[in-house]
Structure 1
Amino acid sequence: MKNVSPTYLKHQFLIAMPHMADPNFAHTLTYIVEHTANGAMGLVVNRPQDLNLADILEQLRPEIEPPASCQAVPIYFGGPVQTDRGFVLHPSGPTFQATVDLEGVSLSTSQDVLFAIADGVGPQQSLITLGYAGWDAGQLEEELANNAWLTCPFDADILFNTASELRLNAAAKQLGVNLNLLTSQAGHA
């Protein structure tokens, strides 16, 4: 029997199917940061919270008044795990204390990136989340087999240049899929 290596989805988007029942992931677009035999990690990129960068900075450095521009920088719900931990996706280029390059996009998890954005010297484009989505070994593969998700190639334009409420349909459109035409009922023919 031929040994087939599994296909991992690092640096791809997951599109939640319309029948996704989990309220954490219904109608979401998730960027996969890491996917190995041990599990997967992703960031939901289309669910802004009622928080902005100014709110976060008031907690991190209360002695400095956040610039007014920080009120226009949304904070996204990245997933249900460690919802007090921040993750910043930005184009590759500047690196911070904790930055990982992911093929043209970088992930920074240190506070210095937030301060740099606030001070006008950070990445020109960014997406900030609190929390992440995590899957145990084999869990994401099982969800894919059960048609919970569609996979889509990563597109920085969707991440950084598309309004959050349009990202899910923009990713689906790349696949030639209109999510509005798919039934919200799960099942098999």
Structure 2
Amino acid sequence: MDDFQSLVGRLLVAMPGIDDERFEHAVILVCAHGPDHAMGLRLDRPAPGVDLKAVLDKLDTRAPDSASSRKVLVGGPVERERGFVLHTDDWMIEDASMPFGEGLAMTGTREALAAMVDPFAGPRNSVLMLGYAGWGDGQLEDELGDNVWLTAEADPGLIFDTDYEHKWSRALATLGVDPAWLSGQSGRA
């Protein structure tokens, strides 16, 4: 596959009429992408009834009351019990943090959770994700060919902001696309 184009660090923006309701109006940050796999984190779906303070309390990790206002996101349908901290790369753990894209990293440790609420030593921006979106060999490329996803530049302002309800339309706007222009029908010319 000499012409393989990695999408690491880019956004996948779901087209209307996507055949999988789990991804309706989804905005997914691609964290890993190779010829035989892809992995991403959904940026726009808060987990119902879950906040950062509740998670930290359950793990016996001290958290300020302000952590109760921070949503935990459903990163995708795969391994929903597994947590990932998506964060800026100004905070990293050697051999545990996976840097990707421009200025981003992902860490799946308790230390990363504690760092999320440390205003002095933690990352500038962070969000806890439960689960991830995954694609097997050629699956994402097939979906792109079937016009299931648009791709966009990943803007940290969009990635880490908390306006989850409008994230999809704002991601489309970065491409100059008004959601009203899009059809739920796909096809090939």
TM-score (normalised: structure 1): 0.90
Cα distance in structure 2, aligned partners of 1:117 and 1:85: 17
1:108 aligns with 2:107: yes
Q: Percent of aligned pairs with the same residue?
A: 36
Which amino acid in the other structure matches residue 94 of structure 1? W
Cα distance in structure 2, aligned partners of 1:119 and 1:91: 14
Superposed displacement of residue 117, structure 1: 1.9
Look up the SS of the partner of 1:24 in the other structure. helix
TM-score (normalised: structure 2): 0.90
Superposed displacement of residue 58, structure 1: 2.3
1:55 aligns with 2:54: yes
2:37 aligned residue: 39
Q: Is the 8 A contact 1:45 1:127 kept in 2?
A: no
The alignment's C-alpha RMSD in Å is 1.8
Look up the SS of the partner of 1:140 in the other structure. helix
Cα distance in structure 2, aligned partners of 1:47 and 1:146: 24
Look up the SS of the partner of 2:22 in the other structure. coil
Look up the SS of the partner of 1:35 in the other structure. strand
Per-residue CA deviation, residues 59-91 of structure 1 (Å, 9 max, x unaligned), is 211xx5642111011000100111111111111
Mean Cα deviation higher: 100-109 or 73-82 = 100-109
Superposed displacement of residue 188, structure 1: 4.7
Look up the SS of the partner of 1:144 in the other structure. helix
Which amino acid in the other structure matches residue 143 of structure 1? E
1:141 aligned residue: 141
Equivalent positions of 1:71-110 (< 5 A) are 71-96=68-93, 98-102=96-100, 103-110=102-109
Runs of 4+ in 1 over 6 A off after TM superposition: none
Mean Cα deviation higher: 109-118 or 140-149 = 109-118
Aligned equivalent of 1:11, options 9, 22, 44: 9
1:181 aligned residue: 181
Cα distance in structure 2, aligned partners of 1:12 and 1:162: 19
Cα distance in structure 2, aligned partners of 1:29 and 1:138: 20
Q: Is the 8 A contact 2:90 2:124 kept in 1?
A: no
Cα distance in structure 1, aligned partners of 2:136 and 2:90: 31
Cα distance in structure 2, aligned partners of 1:4 and 1:67: 50
Cα distance in structure 2, aligned partners of 1:20 and 1:135: 15
Superposed displacement of residue 141, structure 1: 0.3
Cα distance in structure 2, aligned partners of 1:96 and 1:72: 26
